[in-house]
């Protein structure tokens, strides 16, 4: 076997091992590694209306980045160096992403609001929710996301509960965020109901 073929075979084995850890996600769209953002920090504006970058994560308490590498990865380290261990840890962490997209909320009417969660590739949920604002200005939301009839999300339902994260008085470039949980309320595409994940949504 040539050196090139050996490298290709080893890489395939590593990717197959990593794929085995991937869970059924909220969106079936493949996820790519995130690039470093160069956007300017928007002014602090905690109102619910607007666009929020949504990302949810499976609740796995395992230590990934600083954990001892899997034996299959350790076997490749003498060949490819320590970088393969870092790459494997990064891919395992990426596999914890449950769903990702843009939550767009319309201006509320009283305590009620509507919106969408667009996960790309035709995966869109219609959102209906209620909100409560505390005297300190913190916002708590309850949202139901229903799939759109006749589309890839037909029959889907995900429920969301979240609240705005506190603002630090001495925080640097802090932006409004929603922190909460999401649950698959109805089964779809072979994925069971009841699967829950944590999520963060960052205001754009």
Q: What's the fold here for domain 50-60+97-203?
A: Lipocalin (2.40.128)
**DSSP characters for 73-112?**
HHTTHHHH-THHHHHHHHHHHHTTEEEEEEEEEPPPBTTE
The alpha carbon dihedral of 68, 55, 161, 45 has a sign of positive
On the question of pLDDT at 41 being above 80, the answer is no
**pLDDT score of 78:** 59
CA–CA dist 100, 123 (Å, integer): 11
What's the residue count for the chain? Answer: 204
On the question of pLDDT at 113 being above 90, the answer is yes
More confident residue, 29 or 98: 98
CA–CA dist 176, 101 (Å, integer): 17
In the three-class reduction of DSSP (H, G, I as helix; E, B as strand; rest coil), residue 177 is classed as strand
CA–CA dist 151, 27 (Å, integer): 13
Place of tokens 């990426």: 94
Q: pLDDT tens, 158-182?
A: 999 999 999 898 989 899 999 999 9
On the question of pLDDT at 93 being above 60, the answer is yes
Q: pLDDT tens, 124-168?
A: 999 999 999 988 888 999 999 999 999 999 999 999 999 999 989
Q: Which part of the chain is CATH 2.40.128?
A: 50-60+97-203
Q: How many CB atoms lie within 10 A of CB 191?
A: 15
Report whether 78 contacts 171 (CB < 8 A).
Answer: no
- Kindly report the pTM of this predicted structure: 0.72
> 116 — phi, psi (to 5°)?
-140, 155
> 146 — phi, psi (to 5°)?
-110, 140
**pLDDT score of 94:** 79
Tokens of 137: 């200005």
Q: What angle do CA 137, 102, 117 make, to 5 degrees?
A: 90
On the question of pLDDT at 12 being above 50, the answer is no
Segment of 31-35, 100-104, 167-171 carrying the highest mean pLDDT: 100-104
């Amino acid at each position: 076997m040539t050196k090139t073929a050996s490298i290709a075979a080893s890489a395939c084995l590593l990717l197959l091992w990593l794929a085995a850890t991937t869970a059924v996600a909220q969106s079936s769209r493949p996820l790519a590694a995130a690039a470093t953002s160069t956007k300017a920090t928007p002014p602090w504006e905690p109102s619910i209306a607007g666009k929020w970058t949504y990302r949810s994560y499976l609740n796995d308490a395992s230590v990934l980045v600083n954990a001892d590498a899997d034996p299959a990865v350790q076997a490749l380290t003498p060949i490819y160096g320590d970088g393969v261990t870092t790459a494997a840890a990064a891919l395992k962490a990426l596999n914890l992403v449950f769903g990702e997209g843009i939550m767009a909320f319309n201006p509320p009417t009283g305590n009620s609001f509507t919106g969408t969660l667009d996960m790309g590739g035709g995966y869109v949920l219609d959102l209906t929710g209620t909100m409560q604002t505390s005297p300190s200005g913190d916002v708590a939301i309850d949202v139901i996301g229903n799939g759109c009839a006749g589309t890839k999300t037909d029959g889907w339902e995900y429920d969301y509960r979240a609240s705005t994260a506190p603002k630090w008085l001495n925080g640097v470039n802090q932006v409004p965020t929603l922190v909460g949980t999401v649950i698959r309320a109805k089964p779809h595409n072979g994925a069971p109901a009841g699967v829950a994940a944590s999520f963060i949504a960052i205001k754009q």
